[in-house]
Amino acid sequence: MRKLKGTIVSDKMDKTRVIAVTRLVKHSRYQKYYKITKRFKAHDEHNTYHTGDVVIISEVRPLSKDKRWRIIELVQGRVVDSTDKT
């Protein structure tokens, strides 16, 4: 069972969150590292997690057409900027 760590980028769907997972890949010829970001839809049964949270997701059986992941743990809550007045 695979586990990935990523940041929630969308929480607009009911019981579903979109998580962006960023990883470094080494170019085969130029030996330079570059970032690859992939977005996964993950299940959140009680709508607990929100945009900006860093979470760990785990692979599960297919839950819908696009969902094959479930959020299992909160690593870090979202950072709220105190200077923001909105």
15, 20, 31, 43 from 67: Cα distances, Å: 11, 14, 34, 7
The burial class, CB within 10 Å (0-12 / 13-18 / 19+), for 5 is: middle
Choice between 78 and 18, residue whose per-residue pLDDT is larger: 18
Give the pLDDT confidence score for residue 1 in this predicted structure.
86
Instruction: Report which secondary-structure segment, H or E, holds 19.
Output: strand 16-26
> CATH second-level architecture of 3-76?
Beta Barrel (2.40)
Contact criterion met (CB below 8 Å) for 44 and 17: yes
Contact criterion met (CB below 8 Å) for 34 and 27: yes
DSSP classification of residue 52: T
Per-residue pLDDT tens digits for 7-55: 999 999 999 999 999 999 999 999 999 999 999 999 999 999 999 999 9
